[in-house]
Amino acid sequence: MNKFVQFPLYLKITCVLLSLVVFSYIAILLENIFVPMFLGVLVASLLVPFSEFLEKKFRFSRGIASIVVVVLALLILSSVLLLIGMQLTHLQDDWPAFQQQLLEGVSNIQEWVYSKFGIAKENQMNYLESAASNSLKTGTDILGAAMSSLSTLLMFLVFTFLYSVFLLIYRGHLVRFVLMLFHSDHKDKVLDTIHAIQNMVKKYLVGLMLQMMIVTTLAFIAFLILDIKYSFMLALITGVLNVLPYIGILIALVITILVTFASASGAKVLFVLIAFVVIHAIDGNIVMPKIVGSKVKVNSLAVIVGLILGEMAWGISGMLLAIPTLAIMKIICDRVDSLRPWGYLLGEETYPEKINIEEENKE
């Protein structure tokens, strides 16, 4: 008869915390490996049905089908980036006009400051020149960091699509490897967990793309009504950045306000702000819960904590991966008896009836 050793609670907690610290350190240390690999897993999960379609319908080999679907996905992504690039080219052509509009706006602000606080324009300019001189080195550092981030992003994209190809090719091999790690009695439960994760990731990514399209369409309509210059570019940027929960819409708002301020009247900036509030309300209360949130079934508190931890570990990439990671953890916890309380903690509130603690203790 097997006897299991019962460890004290404090020892269990210590082991769990040490494991989390070690895992977090390794994850941060190997960010350049784990981030594109994890993104590759998500992309591969989304492309599995298309690869299977080519294999069954057109008798493609798994390798050829995997390469074809990944290349098509890469072409779609490149088309979106090309559209944004073309719009940015037009923005560059109008840059002198933007500079003139900005100078007029700054002049109006200076007059307002003088009328309200009595600070002469010369003193304002001296302060701005001093601030610009002190921030020159910072601006150079930011530019260097931006170029470094761009090269890192390109590297991540290359490795992400490479991982996607090989994960699609060896998906059956990897599933069999996972099954070999567990006892044969748990085979059905492991397969059910794998299929649940794959379906969740697929539905989540499809929902995310639908959300992106809806937000882009709403923003485009709003910008057209307001007669905002570069409506399509700003709407596309808004839809793409909205993928970043909570902060993406704010970044898009700042970009849109800057472009609007440089090309239109100040009153129109207020209407842009109102439009963003309406779009965010529709997205947060209708689009996100119905299309995206229903697929992951993770509560808002867990999402916020996950976003913070993801940003601390992997920056923006960590924020993008936080929600699907939490959803995968919930699926696993829900199917392991000892981890089921953690799955409940990550899940949505079900509003159960009030529990009488005294009666529970008596039972």
pLDDT at position 106:
67
pLDDT at 138: 47
Rounded alpha-carbon distances, angstroms, from residue 220 to 166, 183, 223, 275, 284:
38, 54, 5, 11, 18
Query: For the chain, which ranges sit under pLDDT 70?
Result: 1-5, 91-95, 97-106, 110, 114, 118-153, 264-266, 349-363
pLDDT at 180: 93
What pLDDT was estimated at residue 130?
60
| Per-residue pLDDT, 24 | 85
**Using one digit for the tens of pLDDT, what is the confidence trace for 226-262?**
988 889 889 988 998 888 777 788 889 988 888 887 7
List Cβ neighbours of 69 (8 Å cut-off, separation of 6 or more): 47, 50, 51, 54, 168
Query: How far apart are the C-alpha atoms of 23 and 325, rounded to whole Å?
Result: 15
Q: What is residue 94's predicted lDDT score, i.e. its pLDDT?
A: 66
pLDDT at 316: 81
DSSP string over 88-130: HHHHHHTHHHHHHHHHHHHHHHHHHHHHHH---HHHHHHHHHH
pLDDT for position 136: 43
Q: Quick one: pLDDT at residue 73?
A: 92
pLDDT at 89: 74
Q: How far apart are CA 260 and CA 306, in angstroms?
A: 34
* 228 close to 268: Cβ distance less than 8 angstroms: yes
Instruction: Record the pTM.
Output: 0.77
